[in-house]
Amino acid sequence: MAASFPLLSVLITFITTYLATSASPAAAVAAQYSVTSYGARPDGRTDSTRAFLAAWNKACSSPSPATIYVPAGTFYLKNVAFQGPCKSTSIAFLVDGTLLAPSDYGVIGPVGNWIMFHAVDGVTVSGGTLDGQGKGLWACKASGKSCPQGATTLEFSNSKNIQINGVASLNSQLFHIVINGCQNVKVQGVRVTAAGDSPNTDGIHVQESNGMTILNSRIGTGDDCISIGPGATNLWIEGVSCGPGHGISIGSLGKEFHEAGVQNVTVRTVTFTGTENGVRIKSWGRPSTGFARNVLFQHAVMNNVQNPIVIDQNYCPGEKNCPGQDSGVKVSDVTYQDIHGSSQTEVAVKFTCSKASPCTGIRMEDVKLSYKNKVAGSSCQNADGTASGVVQPGSCL
Ligand SMILES: *[C@@H]1O[C@H](CO)[C@@H](O)[C@H](O)[C@H]1NC(C)=O
């Protein structure tokens, strides 16, 4: 009995302290803003852009955590920029419905972005479908007519502490999700779907950003599954399946002379099915201060992939501004570990590195790739490194 008193008083102190700190209404209850309260209509036709902005402005200026709620139904939305900085340090976009872009690419195509967040901190987007309605623009591009470049579906720029959870992105005009100039970003359970021949519809693109994880996502699209641009550091990708599309690519790097490097990238437990590439590092064949270093590709399965493992430092589209030049991008400390499966072409491992700036510290460990049920081939240029464990095709390092 005597012994239980101190315990009880500790418990009471704990409860009263807890109530005192959480009882202030502002701190306890997150403010909720439903877009329908601001005039958004789930009918797929009414322009809900102003309503979304009005809800955003309320949430952004809220002194407490805020939730913007998008109920079930289809909301027609033109290009919209959710601008920070905000007073609220935590804003959740909770989406049950579908956001529908204009089918006429002339509306958002020239703007370059559909849904944009700029200079925000602590924003989470959860659930819902973002339908970019890109088919019209893809057809325009395929016809050779002059068309706008197109709009990225969802972009965060100059932001931090961002989460994107369980969002489905469908038929983007241009890239699906872009992270540019951000810190501490977590993307998980994302589903990207677009035709395998849709142009420039990268699934997730990251650049100039530090500290990002991409987990448990499925990406089928017409361009890169995930593209990693200049200035991406401390990036972790795990549990992603890609296909159709062009695979996971670091690059293109070295387009500019003065360029930030890519470093500390881990790509693990990924599956590629019928993609053009598996894991690729790609740079322009021209001088640059850029680099890619400390990269780990681990536990990858290749199912009938055209080019499972590639480093290509001779990228020179249209043979303009680079013919005859060597890439200045330094590729170093890249490890390929436990990568197996099948290649659609005979040369499953291809390291075409720069003569001016050869690849160093390439490590191959337990790599096993077949072509037509036989051991595939490999080719190396200006690539230095080591092989250990089972490495088939045999290492050319
Ligand atoms: C890369 O990772 C190493 C080891 O964890 C760390 O020391 C280094 O600061 C990181 N580089 C960058 C640019 O963050």
What does each of the 397 residues of the chain score in pLDDT, given as a tens digit? Answer: 334 444 444 444 333 333 334 444 444 467 999 999 999 999 999 999 999 999 999 999 999 999 999 999 999 999 999 999 999 999 999 999 999 999 999 999 999 999 999 999 999 999 999 999 999 999 999 999 999 999 999 999 999 999 999 999 999 999 999 999 999 999 999 999 999 999 999 999 999 999 999 999 999 999 999 999 999 999 999 999 999 999 999 999 999 999 999 999 999 999 999 999 999 999 999 999 999 999 999 999 999 999 999 999 999 988 888 888 999 999 999 999 999 999 999 999 999 999 999 999 999 999 999 999 999 999 999 999 999 999 999 999 9
Q: Name the amino acid, one letter, at 12.
A: I
Three-class SS state of 314: strand
Question: Residue 44: which region, alpha, beta or left (left: phi > 0; alpha: psi -120 to 50)?
Answer: left
Distance set, CA 157 to CA 81, 117, 183, 211 (Å): 11, 6, 10, 14
Q: Which atom of ligand 1 is nearest to the CA of 263?
A: 13
What CATH number does residue 342 fall under? 2.160.20.10
Domain final residue pick, 223, 250, 275: 223
Residues 119 and 75 in one domain: yes
Q: Residue 18 has what pLDDT?
A: 39
Residues 319 and 372 in one domain: yes
Domain final residue pick, 223, 253, 281: 223
The verdict on the CB of residue 342 being under 6 Å from ligand 1 is no
Q: Which atom of ligand 1 is nearest to the CA of 264?
A: 1
Q: Residue 104 has what pLDDT?
A: 97
The verdict on the CB of residue 263 being under 6 Å from ligand 1 is yes
The verdict on the CB of residue 264 being under 6 Å from ligand 1 is yes
Q: How large is the C-alpha radius of gyration of the chain? A: 24
* C-beta separation of 225 from 251 below 8 A: no
Identify whether 25 is preceded by a cis peptide bond (ω within 30 of 0). no
The verdict on the CB of residue 209 being under 6 Å from ligand 1 is no
Domain count, the chain: 2
Ligand 1 center–CA 260 separation, angstroms: 15
Q: What is the 3-state secondary structure (H, E, C) of 126-146?
A: ECCEEECCCHHHHHHHHHCCC
Ligand 1 center–CA 294 separation, angstroms: 9
Burial letters for 104-141: b for 16+ Cβ neighbours within 10 Å, e otherwise? ebebbbebbbbbbbbebbbbbbbebbbbbbbebbbebb
Residues 196 and 51 in one domain: yes
**Residues marked as catalytic:** 246
The pick from 234, 293, 296 for probing ligand 1's pocket by mutation, whose C-beta has the most ligand atoms within 8 angstroms, reads 234
The verdict on the CB of residue 370 being under 6 Å from ligand 1 is no
Q: Residue 95 has what pLDDT?
A: 98
* C-beta separation of 130 from 166 below 8 A: no
Q: What is the DSSP letter of 26?
A: H
Ligand 1 center–CA 230 separation, angstroms: 16
What are the structure tokens assigned to 126, written together? 């959860």
Tell me whether residue 17 is in a domain: no
CA triplet 148, 77, 193: central angle to 5 degrees?
70
Q: Whose CA is nearest to atom 8 of ligand 1?
A: 264
Q: Which atom of ligand 1 is nearest to the CA of 234?
A: 14
Q: 99 CB contacts (<8 Å, ≥6 apart)?
A: 70, 74, 75, 77, 115, 128, 129, 130, 131
Query: What is the spatial distance between Cα 3 and Cα 251, in angstroms, rounded to a whole number?
Result: 66
The verdict on the CB of residue 183 being under 6 Å from ligand 1 is no
Residues 74 and 122 in one domain: yes
List the domain range (segments joined by +) for residue 192: 27-223
The verdict on the CB of residue 381 being under 6 Å from ligand 1 is no
Query: What is the spatial distance between Cα 52 and Cα 206, in angstroms, rounded to a whole number?
Result: 26
**Alpha-carbon torsion (361, 363, 369, 375), positive or negative:** positive
DSSP element (H, E) containing 105: helix 105-108
Query: What is the spatial distance between Cα 220 and Cα 238, in angstroms, rounded to a whole number?
Result: 16
Q: 46 CB contacts (<8 Å, ≥6 apart)?
A: 40, 76
Ligand 1 center–CA 233 separation, angstroms: 8
Residues 218 and 244 in one domain: no
Q: Which atom of ligand 1 is nearest to the CA of 294?
A: 1
Residues 170 and 275 in one domain: no
Q: Whose CA is nearest to atom 2 of ligand 1?
A: 264
Domain final residue pick, 208, 223, 238: 223
Q: What is the DSSP letter of 65?
A: -
In degrees and rounded to multiples of 5, residue 41 shows phi and psi of: -125, 135
Residues 314 and 354 in one domain: yes
Ligand 1 center–CA 263 separation, angstroms: 8
Ligand 1 center–CA 270 separation, angstroms: 23
